Structure formats: structure tokens, C-alpha cells
Amino acid sequence: MKRTTIVAGGVILALGIGLILGLSKYKLPMIHAIVENAVVQKAPVGYPEEHIRQVFDANYRKAQQMEREDVYLDRLLKASQRLEKVQKLESSQVDQILLELDPEQAGQPPKE
């Protein structure tokens, strides 16, 4: 009985570790999608949704290419905290969020 308990505990531990490692792989894409959709939903009527998505996607790709996912994740989490406090964003607030994702990228016009 003790051997069965030890084996079962080992299996549960292995599954837990696997789950944690698996979730960490998908953490950035999930948070990216959540924050991007929140900005789109809270943006004022008429604010170009495509521009928001292009800026988010460009910053996501740039973070991956430069292996700076941790910096991008931190910026997403800060944006998420700002979004929690408001129901609707003004255009200037959307612009500011996009700028804070990557100050070099956000001020440029969307790429076609």
C-alpha cells in the first residue's frame, strides 16, 4: 500500500510539474490576447481596431525575435492594470497604452 501511494504521489507530482511548464509556455500568448481584446473593446467608437491589433502583433513578434518576452509581458501586465480601472478609453488613452507597449513602434503609422 505504501508503494502504491508513493507511485501515485510521484505521478501526481510529475503531472503538476508538466502542467506548470505547459502553462508557462502559453502565458505570454494568453495575456497578449486578453489585453489586446480588452483595449479593442474599451476603445472609443471609431478608433481603428486594425491599428490596435497591428501594434499589439508587431510588438509581440518583436519581443519574440529579440528574445525579450519578459519585458513585453511586464508591459502587458501594466496595461492590464490600467484597463481594470476604466470602462471606456479615450483615444488619447489608447494611444498611450500602445505607446507604452513599445515607445519606438507605437508612434508609427500602421503597416499595411
Q: How far is CA 10 from the centre of its chain?
A: 33
Q: Is the pTM of this model over 0.85?
A: no
Ranges of each domain in the chain: 26-106
pLDDT of residue 35: 96
pLDDT beneath 50, residues of the chain: 106-107, 109-112
H or E element at residue 66: none
Burial track 45-81 (b if 16+ CB lie within 10 A, e otherwise): eebeeebbebbbebbbeebeeeeeeeebeebbeebee
What are the φ and ψ backbone dihedral angles of 35, each rounded to 5 degrees?
Answer: -70, -40
pLDDT of residue 106: 44
Q: Whole-angstrom Cα distance, residue 50 to residue 29?
A: 18
| Cα→Cα distances 100→20, 94, 96, Å | 29, 10, 6
pLDDT of residue 79: 94
Cα end-to-end span (Å), the chain: 65
